[in-house]
Structure 1
Amino acid sequence: MLTCQRRVWCFFLTIGWGGEPVNNVIVIFLASVLVAFAYNMFLLPHNILSSGVSGIAMMIGLKTPLNTGVVNLVLNLPLFIIGFMKLGKRFMINTLFSVAVTSVALILIPISPISKDPILSSVFGGVLAGIAGGLIFRFSASAGGFDIIGLLLTRKKEFPLGNLLFMMNSAVIFVSGFLFSWDAALYTMLSMFATGKVIDTIHTRHLKVTLMIVTSQGDEIKNALFSKLVRGITVVDGEGAYTKEKRKVLFTTISRYELAEVKRLIKEADPKAFVNITETIEVLGYFRRE
């Protein structure tokens, strides 16, 4: 009976919707609720706005009787269409789920300040929103709005996503200054800066590393990497200066996201392989960014 239950549990953990693992769905759900919590408990009580479309929805919600969650969902709909065409069905289904959860949570969670200090609220609210946003990005989704535009731009050129979103959202800061106060605009800038830095700490897809692998099992490691990655590998012959033993030296450049999996594959193929991992400043020429 226990074995049967474990099989059923494993089955649901792997299917999700459309092949999406349930643990990914859970992380996206919790992170989306955390976004709404940061907004309603830290930012909105002090007229501190969020970024992009969410910030615009906040401004409309604060200046009109309309609910911020409803406005956030409506404003995101046109961007979903672009996302489905450019970013893929699976990503956009996850994004739609994230935006829907955030919008519902914004309705259900009361706007109640945890701190009376706007500076503390802007920092902690920005950090919480950054943690949530970084996790949402990491698990193949986004919070919608400018995030979709930012992801489209980063696919064309490598750039820290958090910094890009911060620059794109500068307009929201200036508009909030005219609508509310310039103190609120500066608090908003502080919140956005904190959010962007935390996102770049968690979302590291723009970071690249280069591996030099010295091994006596060159073919095994090469085949193992090819079985899981779509990356080019350069293989050269090497010789130990002291031992004179022949070795294969493999060079490859991967994204930071892939590093943990690559290290596992190398260890399984050759536990004695020497691996030197260096950060890559820039990659020129073709590099698969998907």
Structure 2
Amino acid sequence: MKHRLRNLIVLFVASIGLAFAFNFFLLPHEVLSGGVTGLAMIFGLLTPFNSGVWLVIFNIPVLIIGWMKLGKEFIANSIFSVAVTSVAMLYIPLIQVTEDALLSSVFGGVITGAAIGVIIRFYGSTGGFDVIGLVLTLKRDLPLGALVFSLNSLVVFASGFFFTWELALYTLASIYITGIVVDRIHTRHIKLSLMVVTDKDQELRSELIGNLIRGITVMDAHGAYSNQERKVLYTVISRYELALVKSIISEVDSRAFVSVTETVEVMGNFRRS
């Protein structure tokens, strides 16, 4: 429970930071973020409704699909993050920190990337194209980065069509910087081997399978010192899932022995979410 509360606090702060980046740096210059958030910004600039309202509307069908295909904890955190960002954008005023659109693109991209990186690292997302990309990678062996970039290119094109191509280039620069910062923070591509020695294998298995889209191998073990029979759970997870896994293990069996090692390569039926 304590870990869950900590994660929600981190997600809340990062989501507020994301809203500040939008309303202080990007939106005042009509520089957009990537993905569904960028589309929400376009509609917010072209209609009387705030971008935060459009962010919720566009994310509803995406998150419903994600709820059916991805882990429930991930989608619950994503809904929380989208809701906090949307409400914050309604109350944070649009303030032009600098008149230089390029500076706003750079700093807005850095802050946005840092906020999104933290959100993903604590097992959430900002909805939109992140969720779409994750669902698509479950069906086909396609690189997530290339998928998200392709989807983001639609936002850049829309920005140039509705506004100016100069602003579209600023948007492209901001999206690129955001991507670099996100990769620096959450290192999604790193895979980890997880081994758990526990007395509560049934309960732990149920919780892990219910929250992760991973297979788990169960092995019998015999403690040399305790002379007791135990179970060993083995699986491979991605780096950003580690925070959730540690929280689950701590709540189910705080006395479990856990070993986490970085994995060089994974072959076979591994879902790249």
Structure 1 length-normalised TM = 0.69
Distance apart, 1:145 and its partner CA: 1.4
Task: Check conservation: 1:151, 1:161, Cα contact below 8 A.
Answer: yes
- Partner of 2:189 in structure 1? 206
Asked whether 1:58 is paired with 2:41, we answer yes
| Aligned residue among 21, 44, 50 for 1:67 | 50
> Which residue of 188, 194, 197 maps to 2:177?
194
Change (3 A) 1:209 1:160: farther
Tell me the equivalent position of 2:30.
47
2:79 equivalent among 93, 96, 102: 96
The answer to whether the aligner puts 1:38 opposite 2:27 as a matched pair is no
Q: Secondary structure of the residue that 1:133 maps to in structure 2?
A: helix
Whether 2:95 is the aligned partner of 1:106: answer: no
Task: Work out the percentage of aligned pairs sharing the same amino acid.
Answer: 53
Deviations 1:11-69 (A, max 9, x none): x625xxxxxx1000001111111111111111011110111221111111111211111
Give the AA of the match of 1:24: N
Distance 1:289 1:60, change over 3 A: closer
| Alignment match, 2:67 | 84
SS in structure 1 at match of 2:41: helix
RMSD, aligned CA: 3.4
Letter aligned with residue 127 of structure 1: V
Q: How much has 1:255 moved relative to structure 2?
A: 3.7
Counterpart of 1:61 in 2: which secondary structure? helix
Q: C-alpha displacement at 1:102, in angstroms?
A: 0.5
Counterpart of 2:86, as a letter, is S
Partner of 1:121 in structure 2? Answer: 104
The one-letter amino acid of 2:2's match is L
Q: Distance in 2 between matches of 1:159 and 1:259?
A: 23
Alpha-carbon distance between aligned partners in 1 of 2:86 and 2:156, rounded to the nearest angstrom: 22
> Which residue pairs with 1:135 in the alignment?
118
Which runs of no fewer than 5 residues in structure 1 stay unpaired? Answer: 1-11, 15-20, 212-220, 234-251, 263-267, 270-274
Does the 8 A contact of 1:163 with 1:197 survive in 2? no
From 150, 154, 160, the equivalent of 2:133 is: 150
Distance 1:167 1:114 in 2: 30
Residue aligning to 1:3: none
Listed one character per residue, the Cα deviations across residues 189-241 of structure 1 (whole Å, up to 9, x for unaligned) are: 00111111222222323223689xxxxxxxxx8847xx7896669xxxxxxxx
Count of residues in Structure 1 that have an aligned counterpart in Structure 2: 237
Task: Compare relative contact order (CA 8 Å, sep 6+) and give the higher one, 1 or 2.
Answer: 2
- With normalisation by structure 2, the TM-score equals 0.73
1:164 aligned residue (140, 147, 169): 147
Q: Give deviations 1:144-181, integer Å, cap 9, x for gaps.
A: 11121022134456766455322211011011101110
Deviation string for 1:118-157 (max 9, x for gaps)?
1111111111111111111122221111121022134456
Does the Cα contact within 8 Å between 2:78 and 2:126 map onto a contact in 1? yes
**CA distance, structure 2, for counterparts of residue 256 and residue 176 of structure 1:** 34
Say if 1:134 and 1:203, in contact at 8 Å, map to a contact too: yes
CA 1:146–1:259 in structure 2 vs 1: closer, same or farther (change >3 Å)? closer
* Alpha-carbon separation, structure 1, partners of 2:10 and 2:263: 30
Q: Secondary structure, in 3 states, of the residue corresponding to 1:50? A: coil
